[in-house]
Amino acid sequence: MTFDMPGKSANVLTDEVWVDLSRALDRLESKPPAGVILVSAKPTIYVAGADLVKISNTLDWSDDEIIRFCEEGRAIMSRFSRLLSVSVAAVHGVCVGGGMELTLWCDHRIASDDRKTLFGLPEVKLGLVPGWAGTVRLPRLIGLQEAIDLVTTGNLIDAKRAKELGIVTCVGPQSEMIDRAVQIINDELASRAFLKKRQAMLGAVTDMPHDLDALRQRFQQQIDSNREIDSSAPSIVLQHMIDTAGVDQQAACHNESLAMAKVYGSIENQGLLHYFFLDERSKKVRSDYGEVQPPRIERIGIIGAGLMGCQIAKLALTAGYQVTLFDADQNKLHREFAALATGKNGQNIRVADSFKTFADADLVIEAIVEKLTIKRQLFEQLCQVVGPEIFLATNTSTIPVSDIATAVPNPARLVGLHFCCPVEPLRLVEVIRGQQSSQTIVNVAIDVVRAMRKTPIVVGDHPGFVVNRLLCPVFNQALEMLTHGIPLSQMDASFREFGFAAGPLEMIDFIGVDTIMYAGETFLRTLPELVSLNPILPALVKRGRLGRKSNLGFYRYESFDSVARIDRELDPILDRYQKEPLSLDNDQILDRLLEPMIAAGRAVLADGVVDDSRDVDLCSVLGTTFPAVRGGLLHWADELRRAGS
């Protein structure tokens, strides 16, 4: 049996596929062969799972409709477990969600040894639980503890690990899979062992620890500490799997349907589905050169060996580019070069003693201080020694590309690349199309960002673009609240409790106190309604408290990556600028921080920085760490407004 949805890159369990599958099973049941081998015609995806478009369109279903949805899917899949034939799922490519559940109803699973072959039940990452017996068949196959770990994390595993756990029978070259499946079928027909396995799957879980309460507590702690996934769905599925480990398959499946009804259409499920489609949409942002041959980008020059420049250099090296790094501070340059040279592809980096070294570069990225006059001066000097054909990029975070481009002959070759900070965990890179940026340089930027395994989004050339347009008003409000005596730790805690990876003051320390101060100067000049004059940042910069990079900012740090600690030496600095004290609870603090962020998001749309609210939502999640479970900034704000009305 071959799965192959015409014209699609992946097989998905749509209503049409269910009908076709049911008809195919009718034929198998009427004239059973010795064995059935399930394969996929897709080169990289076996079966991707449920139809998420249908799920997103049915989030208002009643509990009865949700339960029926689960039962109908199981009713079709379970027919493989009752065939007179031996069934083998021969898996090559990604096999996840409903696709993996389908294979769990077969007598055997075998897998190709290709790195593209992965197994998993990632439903919790969408605020759902597996609903077609994944939570029931898996623990009866590999044991309760390992099954809970897979389902509550949603992690994907490769074929080798799947064999170690007992999910697959054997792993080997794709070219040998059919022969191996035939051998398994013949062996099973001779021994009839598959019938005993089927009977065992109908009962309770046999491999489980004696102390289920300790197991529940341990996994609940793991769920609560996992900031990558909202805890609602994993907690519900954990309780369900432990409660049903001792009952038969039929009773466990019914309870699985009830668990699905608890999460299907929840606020968390709605938000995560919205974000899933945002992420899928972002993958379609691709370069388009038309009939023109794409330029080869092999050598990248980076100017600035500070925190941002070195992180960009690391990404470029990992992507396989030849990198040349320059900084006016030669001591810092050679120190950072030594660190980068010991990392992945470190042999591909060299240092430059002047801009002339960039003469053979294909692309030069500027990553220096966020000051317009200094950036212009740099490009004037650079363009005197590099050819007019070399592509240029500025890692600007707030300054419009067009303002910098006045220093560049042939400004069509200049584009903005805003790598969000901290670079390593944040996937977003804003590709800023200046007023004179050519489509070719925009395409080059998209390709380079993709090669660095980041998500590019093309934005208009407006001060702050999207990400910093959202963040600067938040920082401004946080600084204002500091002057009214609101503790910085309380503000940061309220942000983290909402779901951000860090609070506003923690973010400033990450990005750099001086960088945020310079960004504020840009906004005061271009969008004064977004920020107000506040003396705190200049006072910190004057004292060398630049954030993590100097081990002192709003907090104290032992090293760049260490835990933030309260620093009482900050108190007298803040005391100098105190106004009338305010007393606010966490909800009030959160409202004051998020209201200007929402207003900025709506202004981004109104100003045409992007054309679609989904772009603002994506930038908020991937660039500011706005919680994905809430679906993005404007999606969440609109849901609040609808709920209030």
CA–CA distance, 191 with 541 (Å, rounded to integer): 77
Closest CA to 236 of 99, 155, 139, 131: 131
Decide if 152 contacts 234 (C-beta within 8 A). Answer: yes
Give me 543's structure tokens.
């004292």
Cα–Cα distance, 127 to 269 (Å, whole number): 4
Active site includes 366?
Answer: no
Length of the chain: 645
Catalytic (active site) residue 101: yes
Give the type of residue at 557: Y
Quote the pLDDT of residue 110: 98
Contacts of 290 (CB under 8 A, 6+ apart): none
CA distance 354 to 182: 66
Out of 29, 71, 101, 380, pick the active-site residue. Answer: 101
As a whole-number percent, the residues of the chain with pLDDT over 90 amount to 95
Question: For residue 614, what are its two tokens?
Answer: 């989904």
Tell me what pLDDT residue 292 has: 86
Residue partners of 383: CB distance under 8 A and separation at least 6: 407, 408, 409
Give dist(CA 479, CA 470) in Å, integer. 15
The answer to whether the beta carbons of residues 85 and 35 sit under 8 Å apart is yes
Alpha helices in 123-211 (DSSP H): 134-142, 144-153, 159-165, 177-191, 193-201
Cα(285)–Cα(620) distance, integer angstroms? 17
Question: Are 478 and 505 contacting, i.e. CB atoms less than 8 angstroms apart?
Answer: yes
The pLDDT assigned to 68 comes to 97
CA distance 311 to 301: 13
Interatomic CA distance for residues 380 and 596, integer angstroms: 37
> Mapping DSSP to helix (H, G, I), strand (E, B) and coil, where does residue 68 land?
helix
Do 419 and 409 meet the contact criterion of CB atoms below 8 Å apart?
A: no
Name which of 529, 310, 515, 306 is nearest 397 in CA terms: 515
The token duo for 382 is 């650079």
pLDDT, residue 570, reads 96
Q: At what angle do helices 513-526 and 467-482 cross, to 10 degrees?
A: 110
CA 557/CA 566 separation, integer angstroms = 9
Separation CA 547–CA 505 (nearest Å): 10
Q: 6, exposed or middle or buried, with CB in 10 Å at 0-12, 13-18, 19+?
A: exposed
Tell if the pTM clears 0.85, that is, is over it. Answer: yes
From the candidates 29, 65, 72, 123, which is the catalytic residue? Answer: 123
Contact (CB, 8 A) for 346 and 372:
no
518 φ, ψ (degrees, to nearest 5): -65, -35
Neighbours of 187 (CB within 10 A): 13
Query: How far is CA 162 from each of CA 93, 119, 614, rounded to the nearest angstrom?
Result: 13, 7, 37
Q: Is 275 helix (H, G, I), strand (E, B) or coil?
A: helix
How many Å apart are CA 107 and CA 36, to the nearest integer? 10
User: Measured between alpha carbons, how far is 40 from 523 in angstroms, rounded to an integer?
Assistant: 54
Residue 85 near residue 28, CB atoms below 8 Å = yes
Nearest residue to 107 via CA among 131, 81, 69: 81
- Give the Cα separation of 121 and 150 in Å (integer): 7
Mean pLDDT in consecutive groups of 10 residues from the start of the chain, 645 residues: 92 95 96 96 94 96 98 97 97 97 98 97 97 98 97 97 98 97 97 96 95 96 92 97 97 98 96 96 91 93 95 96 95 93 93 93 96 96 94 96 96 97 93 96 97 97 96 96 96 96 96 94 90 93 96 95 94 94 94 96 96 97 96 94 72
Alpha-carbon span 392 to 445, nearest angstrom: 10
Residue 500 and residue 506 in contact, taking contact as beta carbons nearer than 8 Å: no
Place of tokens 């697959």: 168
Beta-carbon contacts of 341 under 8 Å, excluding residues fewer than 6 positions away, are 347, 349
Q: What is the pLDDT of residue 290?
A: 87
Dihedral of the CA atoms 44, 50, 56, 58 (nearest 10)? Answer: 160
Per-residue pLDDT at 406: 96
Bridge partners, residue 201, by sequence? none
pLDDT at 463: 95
Residue 24 in tokens: 């195919």
Structure token pair of residue 602: 């709506």
Structure tokens at 276: 């899933």
Q: How many whole angstroms from its chain centre is CA 310?
A: 22
Residue (of 85, 92, 289, 279) closest to 175 by Cα position: 92
Peptide bond into 411 cis (omega under 30): no
SS3 344: coil
Give the helix, strand, coil percentages of the chain, each rounded to 5.
55, 10, 35
3-state secondary structure of 230: coil
Distance between CA atoms of residues 428 and 621, nearest Å: 9
Task: Dump pLDDT digits (tens) for 143-190.
Answer: 999 999 999 999 999 999 999 999 999 999 999 999 999 999 999 999
Name the strands in the sheet holding 157-158, side by side, starting at the edge strand that comes first in the sequence.
Answer: 45-47, 94-96, 118-120, 157-158
How many Å is the maximal CA-CA distance in the chain?
87
What's the gap between Cα 114 and its chain centre?
24
Q: Which residue has the tokens 């191996």?
A: 180
Q: What are phi and psi of 475, to 5 degrees?
A: -60, -40
3-state SS, residue 643: helix
pLDDT recorded at residue 228 = 86
